[in-house]
Structure 1
Amino acid sequence: MRQFFTPLAISLALVLSALAPSASARDLILAISEGSSGGTDHARVISKYQGLADVIGRSINKNVAVIFIREFSALEDGLTQKRFDLAMARPSDYPARAIRDHGYQYVASGKPDGQCFIIVPKRSTLTSLSQIKGKRMVMPNPAAYMTKLCTAELKRQGIDLEQEDVKRVKEQGAVAFFLENSFADVGGVASYSGVAKSWEAKGHRVLHKSEPQPYFPLIASNALSTAEVAAIQQSLRKLPDSPAGQKVLDTIELQAFDTGSEQRLAKLLLWLGL
C-alpha cells in the first residue's frame, strides 16, 4: 500500500526527526487524525490544534509541532514505526492499539465520551431496539470506527448486522439523508457527529445509545519520560480553570480532558473484539 505523507510540512517534520539526535534537540511532533469525517486542510488543523500543542509544550519546556494525518493507513504506519512523539486520534482504536502493541503511553482522552447513537426519523413507529430487526439500516462504511462501535453494541443487544439489510455510506451526513428521505428506516452515527448533535433538535429521535467509550485519545511515545507525561496531564486537567484554557478546549471542540481513562481505553479493544 502506498504511504501517504503529504503535505510538505509532514515530510519536513519527519526529516528533521530523523536528523535530530534526541527529542530534546528538536520539536516534538503531535500527529492529529480527525477520522473519516474530519477536515482535509492541513493549515486548518494546525490552526485548530496549535493552542493545544503550545499547552503541551509549555508543560515540558519543549516545542510541539502539529501535523495532520488524513489517511488511516498513514496513521497506522506512523504509530507502528513510532514516527510521532504524540498522537491524538478520533478513531480511538488506533491509539489503544498503539499503547498495546507499539509501546506508546496513555496521556488522556477527550470529554465527553463517544457513543454509537442508533437513530430513527420523526415519522418512525419504532420504539425499541428489538424492533429494528428486519428493517432497512444505514451505517458508515465497515472500516469506520463508529461502524465497529455500532456493530459491537448491536451484537451485544442480539442484533447481527451481517444478517440484516444494511446500506453502507461514506459520510455520517449521508446516514441522515437516507433516513430523512425514506431510503432507510434506522441508522447509526457517532454521538460527536454533526448529525447526532442536531438530530433531536430537528424533531427526530435517538432510539438507543451505546455504552460510552473513551473519545479522541492522546498518547505519547516512549521518547517522553513518565514525569513529562505526568506534567502534560496536569496541564490538561487545568484547562477548564482559565479563560485561555477554556478557549483551547472550545477550539478543539472538547469539554475537558480525562486523564483517568487508561483502563477503559484498554478494555475498548476487547469490547470491539480487536
Structure 2
Amino acid sequence: MKPFSTLAGLALLISITSTGSAQAQSSYTLNVSEGTSGGLDSAQVIEKYSGLAEVMSKALGKKVNVVVTREFTQLEEGMKAGKMDFVIARPSDYPARGIRDYKYQLVSISKPDGQCLLIVPKASPLKSLADVKGKRITLPEKISYMSKFCSAELTHKGFNLEKEKVQYAKEQGAVPFYLDTMLADVGGIASYSGVAKNLEKTGHRVIHSSQPQPYQPLIAHAKFTATQIQALKKELGQLDENESGKAVLKQLGIKAFDTGNNEQSLLDLLKWLG
C-alpha cells in the first residue's frame, strides 16, 4: 500500500500546486486602471466597478474584489508577474500587451470604441484636420495613452510631429484651458473622457474624430479555464438585456460588453500605435 500512498500524495501535491488552480483561490482580484483621464479617487473607482465585480462573482461562484491600480508600471509588472487575476484598463495598450506578451485571455471589450477627438473653441476658424497643420496642438501628458493615441492618428494622417508645434498638458482636463486662454489652437482628448462629455457646456467643438479602436478591455489570467471564461462572457454579454444589468453598464459609463473573439483588434492596435 505504501507505493500507492506515495503516488496518491504526489498526485495531490501536483493538484494543489498546479498553475491552473484558479478554483483553489478563495477570491479573485479585478485590477482597474482608468489611466490619466479618470479623475476619480480610489473609493470612487471601487464604487464604480462594484457592480461589475458582483456580476463576475456570480459567474465564477467566488468573490471578486476591486483593486485600484493607478501606476502604469505597477499594472505592467503585475501582469508580467502573473499576479493579477483580472485586469480592466482604459489605456487599452496595457491589456493588449497582457494578451500578446503575458498570456492573458480576452474576456470582453467595452462599447463604444475609443477615439481621439481634436477639439477647438466654437469661434475658431479651424474646420477640419487639414487646417491643423502648422497650428499649436495641445495633447494630454506625453506618457498618457490618449497622447500616444492622438499622436498615432496624426502620424497616420501625414503629420510629422517633430515639425509640428506640439505641447502637453499635465492633465487631460486642462486641454480646454489651453484653448480658452489661447495657449493652443487645437487640443486632443479621449472620446470617453469627462472633457468630451461636456463639450457643449464648455463651448468647444470637434473638428476631427480618429479611427475607432478597442476600448477598455477586460482580460483574465491564463489559469482560468475555458469554462470559467465562457461563464463570464455569458453574464457580461447579456447585461444590456435587463434592467439590473443596464444599471451596471450605466455605472461604468458604457453601452455594452462585446464578448466576441476580438484579440486581433488589440494586436492590431499595438501595431497602429507604433
Does the pair score TM above 0.5? yes
d(CA) in 2 for partners of 1:23, 1:138: 45
Unaligned runs of 5+ in 1: 1-17
Aligned twin of 1:5:
none
Moved over 4 A (4+): none
- Please tell me the residue identity of whatever aligns with 1:105: Q
Pairs aligned (count): 255
Q: How does 1:109-124 map to 2 (within 5 A)?
A: 109-124=109-124
In 2, distance between residues paired with 1:200 and 1:267? 33
| Structure 1: distance between partners of 2:227 and 2:267 | 22
Distance in 2 between residues matched to 1:40 and 1:128, nearest whole Å: 33
Is this contact kept in 1: 2:104–2:221, CA < 8 A? yes
Matches within 5 A, 1:191-202: 191-202=191-202
RMSD between superposed Cα atoms in Å: 1.7
Distance 1:121 1:251, change over 3 A: same
> Contact conserved, 1:139 with 1:175, CA < 8 A, in 2?
yes
Cα deviations by residue, 1:115-140 (Å, 9 ceiling, x for unpaired): 00011111211122122111111111
SS at match of 1:141: coil
Residue matched to 1:177: 177
Aligned to 1:230, what secondary structure does the other structure show? helix
Q: Which amino acid aligns with 1:170?
A: K
Question: Contact 1:39 / 1:45 at 8 angstroms: preserved in 2?
Answer: no
Per the alignment, in what secondary structure is the counterpart of residue 161 of structure 1? Answer: coil
Partner of 2:47: 47
Describe how 1:1-274 pairs up with structure 2 within 5 A. Answer: 22-24=21-23, 25-39=25-39, 41-260=41-260, 261-273=262-274
User: How far is 1:194 from its partner?
Assistant: 1.4
Give the partner amino acid of 1:269: L
* Deviation per residue, 1:66-98 (Å, 9 max, x gap): 110011111111111111110001100000001
For residue 255 of structure 1, report the CA deviation from its aligned partner: 1.0
Is 77-86 or 253-262 further displaced after alignment? 253-262
Q: Which residue of 1 aligns with 2:12?
A: none
Q: How high is the sequence identity, in percent, across the aligned residues?
A: 51
How far residue 146 of structure 1 moved from its aligned partner, in angstroms, is 0.6
Q: Which of these two proteins has the greater Rg computed from alpha carbons?
A: 2
Given that 2:36 and 2:172 are in contact with CA atoms closer than 8 Å, whether structure 1 keeps it comes out as: no
- Give the 3 Å change call, closer, same or farther, for CA 216–234 of structure 1 in structure 2: same
Partners of 2:169 and 2:202 in 1: CA distance: 21
SS in 2 for 1:206: strand
In structure 2, stretches of 5+ residues that fail to align are: 1-16
Instruction: Look up the equivalent residue of 2:22 and give its one-letter code.
Output: A
SS at the partner of 1:222? coil
Contact 1:200 1:206 in 2 (8 A): no
The answer on whether the counterparts of 1:31 and 1:66 sit within 8 Å (CA) in structure 2 is yes
How high is the TM-score relative to the length of structure 1?
A: 0.89
Structure 2 residue matching 1:162: 3-state secondary structure? coil
Shift of 1:21: 10
Report which stretch shifted further, 217-226 or 260-269: 260-269
- Tell me the amino acid that sits aligned with residue 23 of structure 1: A
Would the aligned equivalents of 1:152 and 1:272 in 2 still touch at CA under 8 Å? Answer: yes
> 1:172, CA displacement in angstroms?
1.2
Mapped to 2, the partners of 1:21 and 1:272 lie a distance apart of: 33
The answer to whether the 8 Å contact 2:37/2:173 transfers is no
Question: Do the aligned residues in 1 keep the contact of 2:38 with 2:193 (CA within 8 Å)?
Answer: no
Per the TM alignment, residue 228 of structure 1 is displaced from its structure 2 partner at its CA by: 0.9
